[in-house]
Structure 1
């Protein structure tokens, strides 16, 4: 499965103070990603604030993205929702609009069981009819996929990849070896957590699902290419330039930092959805200093 490999760049979903999508700015973000040569775009992921958007806003975002990308770069669309029925509808919308793949996280107010998650994925994968990536993001969903559940889901039609959090013990190679032994050949195991992307890719990760690449696609792609080519020294050099930014991601959250990056790059006029607040001036200064170090 080549769709879920390489660098997948996750852009913000820019909106004005009234929460209305700014489609021209979204399309500008996407054009930068396409021009850089990223392998895919991850629309309406956590960086895209999907959990804060109405179904109508998500449809408008999807349409604006499809109009911009126009098959030039594969488009992976997040379809997570609180109910199975809503996620099924979003998956169908993505397919009809021309998306190439789906990303599904098990959102829920009530804690979910493994069986509930399995049936949720079974229904959404069938409704969408597109290649689907399991979104294992316990930091936001509070649900952690066991290797056994990932293997069971990998047996479903259309479920072809998983987006993993960084390995808690840092042993990405060992984790991937265990998962590959349990999943079908070609099942793509990729990682999020930008500060550990270098190590995950050097260990053989199929994809870096990158927050930073949504606004900084060129240096993120350089890091991806170096690591996937096995050039550990070059990957370490680029990763070291990113280090101050990674520190901010871990300290205050990448979602907040991305809005400050957008402001520093001259894309002002967008703010996080409330109750998330913009970074304080001292933190914005650190963001600007971090950006100045990037190649």
Structure 2
């Protein structure tokens, strides 16, 4: 479950709410490409903007159409009570794992975050991935907190932010974290731009935005890394640099939403308001990049 490539698709919306047909198509694209797992309702999947009923529906659709590929579902919410409801819904849908970031309105303390994970872990029957995502939660895990949380039941992986594209720096960071944690905890890349480096320098899993829309190249990068072909993995990732430029400037969700709309994989607009996909000149420039890279529906 927590190794290789995990594809994180959009949750496309339309005027009726969740665009079930478009979502299922994204799931099926990833499955056909050979991803190792699917991560629904992540940040790219707009979980924070959806109702409990919508999230339960998406979890069920993902499991139903994943064709035995393991599915992980985000259960993040601002209150522990809501997180527990979402965990129950996800487990009833038949997911293989859950993903939890410490979502909040008031900035959380380390003890509050630990208590959240401790409480949730007592109500799980499936593994949990810890999502350290300070760009959205505004909470950053310390290594000490990694250690505390990793001792809890059901915790199986940590999605680590801000890893470097520099191989030596990334290897040193991963080795430092791994030395603190139980052996069963896997370490994963939270960002696409440095993922090839993470996978070739000791990381276990790539939690990938792009694989939720264009899975073929991420699958190739992951397999090259798993086979020890560092040069091939890095070259394939470098070939996506024109797309990475957009990710750095605009963030991944607005870029992949615009790409999905441009290619007819989702109707426009597909993001929950007030979010907007790229528009105007930047949207046209993205269309040109997709064409040059051969990224198509």
Same fold, TM-score > 0.5, yes or no: yes
Q: TM-score range by the shorter chain?
A: over 0.9
Query: Would you say the 8 A contact 1:242–1:293 is kept in 2?
Result: no
Rounded Cα–Cα distance in structure 2 between residues aligned with 1:217 and 1:231: 19
Task: Specify the SS of the correspondent of 2:206.
Answer: strand
Q: Is 2:181 the counterpart of 1:204?
A: no
Rounded Cα–Cα distance in structure 1 between residues aligned with 2:136 and 2:164: 16
Rounded Cα–Cα distance in structure 1 between residues aligned with 2:266 and 2:192: 24
Residue 16 of structure 1: aligned partner: 14
Q: Is 2:289 the counterpart of 1:290?
A: yes
Runs of 4 or more, structure 1, over 6 Å off, are none
Rounded Cα–Cα distance in structure 1 between residues aligned with 2:104 and 2:181: 26
Rounded Cα–Cα distance in structure 2 between residues aligned with 1:186 and 1:286: 44
Query: Would you say the 8 A contact 2:127–2:155 is kept in 1?
Result: yes
1:293 deviates by 3.7
Q: Is 2:23 the counterpart of 1:26?
A: yes
Query: Would you say the 8 A contact 1:219–1:294 is kept in 2?
Result: no
Q: Select 1:64's aligned residue among 43, 53, 61.
A: 61
Unmatched runs of 5 consecutive residues or more in structure 1? none
Residue 73 of structure 1: aligned partner: 69
1:262-283 CA-to-partner distances (Å, cap 9, x unmatched) read 0222224142111112312211
Q: Select 1:50's aligned residue among 32, 35, 47.
A: 47
Q: Is 2:184 the counterpart of 1:186?
A: yes
Rounded Cα–Cα distance in structure 2 between residues aligned with 1:103 and 1:140: 15
Q: Select 1:124's aligned residue among 120, 126, 133.
A: 120
Q: Select 1:150's aligned residue among 146, 149, 152.
A: 146
Deviates more, 1:259-268 or 1:37-46: 259-268
Structure 2 vs 1, CA of residues 31 and 169 (structure 1 numbering), >3 Å: closer, same or farther?
closer
Q: Select 1:243's aligned residue among 241, 257, 260.
A: 241
Q: Is 2:34 the counterpart of 1:37?
A: yes
Rounded Cα–Cα distance in structure 1 between residues aligned with 2:56 and 2:222: 30
1:215-269 CA-to-partner distances (Å, cap 9, x unmatched) read 1001111111112322122112211221011110110111100111102222241
Rounded Cα–Cα distance in structure 1 between residues aligned with 2:141 and 2:292: 36
Query: Would you say the 8 A contact 2:12–2:266 is kept in 1?
Result: no
Rounded Cα–Cα distance in structure 2 between residues aligned with 1:292 and 1:186: 42
Rounded Cα–Cα distance in structure 1 between residues aligned with 2:66 and 2:4: 18
1:289 deviates by 2.3
1:169 deviates by 8.6
Query: Would you say the 8 A contact 2:22–2:266 is kept in 1?
Result: no
Give RMSD over aligned pairs: 1.4
For normalisation by structure 2, the TM-score amounts to 0.94
Q: What is the number of equivalent residue pairs in this alignment?
A: 291
